[in-house]
Chain A
Amino acid sequence: MSGVTKIFPGVKALSDVSLELYAGQVTALVGENGAGKSTVVKILTGIHQPDAGTLVLDEQARTLATPHDAADAGITAIHQETVLFDELSVAENIYIGHAPRGRLGLVDWEQLYRLSDELLQRMGASFDARVKLRDLGIANKHLVAIARALSIDARVVVMDEPTAALSHKEIEELYLLVERLRDDGKAILFISHKFDEIFRIADRYTVFRDGEMAGSGLISETDPDALVAMMVGRSVESVFPPQTSSPGEVIMRVKGYSHPTEFDDISFELRRGEILGFYGLVGAGRSECMQSLFGITRPSTGVLEIDGVTLTPSSPADAIARGLVYVPEDRGRQGAITALGIVDNVALPSLRKTSSRGFVQVAEEFALAREYTQRLELRAASLDQHVGELSGGNQQKVVIAKWLATRPLVIILDEPTKGIDIGSKAAVHAFMRELTAQGLAVIMVSSEIPEILGMSDRIIVMREGRRVAEFTREQASPEHLVRAAAGIGEAA
């Protein structure tokens, strides 16, 4: 495709970008969130139409008006979160929409299972085509999605961050598959945030920045630093902003917080202007403990004290009223109401402040949204734009803005930079420093060791619902954290 421009209301998502895919080669598409990668995927799969530009497939100009057209043209996409049907069998998932038909137009089940098993075998899958999809792990679900791509004899395969949810071993298996597809002569577009991945698997690269072309070429002729420079348009020096203030007096005390199944006897103190990191493996009970402090679930025992007032929040409304807020990990489901405007989202927890005796004051709501989105340098077409139309990084900014607008004393950030691009990450980190400098206390739950080490003043490690270790910034090292989190020896 060349010269493609896509304009969404008020925002130019793509501006005169070109992308070339070659049969038998893997092309990596690189760019920050919001750079226009997903828009390209949607244009290639017929979900969106470009406002200008052409798409040429095998020297033939094409218009992809619907997803069906795209499938006919031999273009298929494997998405980050696979769109498959849990309750159907593997074979049905592979062939849904183009199942082999027998007489009378009924599905030829034997043929269906035979073809599916052949496909799976060719891919080296270890499961049967009759298994229900929900009985498979995420990696095997990806295999099914790829099998589906092969079944329609696709010539162009688009993979949108396929490794995001996979373990290390599963990623290796995926690489083998990608290589097999490549050797079969497919043209592959591989979208990823991870540089090691790109250099492992791709032959070529194309970099987008803010919806424009930033560069393209052969992987063998570039290096990670050059790619990063292209992505951000500047060189990235120190990743984490330095600490500028020192913690003040204790603002929050937690004593003996326990829950029958999720966590046990959690106690800690938090000071003004401090960033307290919570590290642990997935399932260590960190998020559950934080949500309990926020009043989502009730603890069985435990005392919470904020700014000298003792309370056990029974709902988030209680916690917010006392100045404790929580930015959840699951942005789309818990953090933002994606079908409502930015202004509605930002004003929601502050309704008491922006209303007078229960009556809302629209001007106040806009003023609040304007102030906090500007502080976070949000990018949006207008304040009534739906949050779902924003990129991941900008959605996170809206969620953080909505909580800051309540003027909290303590803010809990649960995986604040998960799934957002380098630029937004840096902005969030810098903003955290700014907040602590103003005396706000921050709890940061994170599974990224560099982030924990780079940002925290103190670090608490949890394992299986218990607090197993605490380090100061100076004491902590990656080895300490990993050992404590995994329970190898006695790290503390």
Chain B
Amino acid sequence: MSIFKRNPDPIGPLDYSRRFSLRFTVGLTLFFLYAPIVGLIVFSFNDSRRNVVWRGFTTDYYVKLFNNDALMLAFGNSLTIALFTTLFSTVLGALTAYVLWRYRFPGKAIYEGGMAMPIVIPEICMGVAMMVFFARIGWPSGMIWPFNLSAITIAHIAFSFPFAAIVIRARLESFNPELAECARDLGASEFQVFRDVVIPHMKPGLIAGALLAFTLSLDDFVITFFTSGPDTVTFPVKIYSMVRFSVTPEVNAASTVLILLTLVVTAFALRMQNRNNMLGSSGH
């Protein structure tokens, strides 16, 4: 065959990944995916407001960023919301995962479907539903910080904890129920079994679920946009209002900060999940 060259390591018929055409496509796709983001990060260090020609390196826009009180307040709000969301989502997600893993009960398929709903329905629908809900029940606005963020936090928890539940449940698949049975036989109460036997096994899943909830909350724009008021602006909502205005290096700098934060958290989460899977397969 003509594709067998004298090359000591010839390209075999199924070596699709070594064909130039496919490599070129992959390269082009990755360029398409990364060039805009890399451009954004690079130009946050550009010493020019015009933002298209490189005029030299500067960190001025980061300094401006940290001196921008409104932006820093939004950043603080985002972190606060994300922390509370993480805490609640992890607990609720762990309980959901435990119930679905351990019990058989009538209507379980419907229950699971209901838990998947916040994941599948369009964000805009959930956003407007939350907006109407909080307006309708007269949720107090204008409370002191951090209680003024409660509406956003509640909405974030509602869409984050089902994601956390999925991650935690995947971890529970590798748990041997006989261990819990054994602890019960030895006189442990249900709560003790959960605390001392189940939770230690869940731990990597809990951490991965928590990190997932954190990034989901930190990144959310649409649902937050509909639940936030003028005095409860989050970082993405603030960036949105800046983006609508124009393309500026400040927005690039703010975006870069958010990208870095998410990347660090995600790297941790992926590591956890990897360990999760490895332990999972050895646990059987």
Whether both chains belong to one complex is answered with no
Binding site for A on B (CB under 8 A): none
Binding site for B on A (CB under 8 A): none
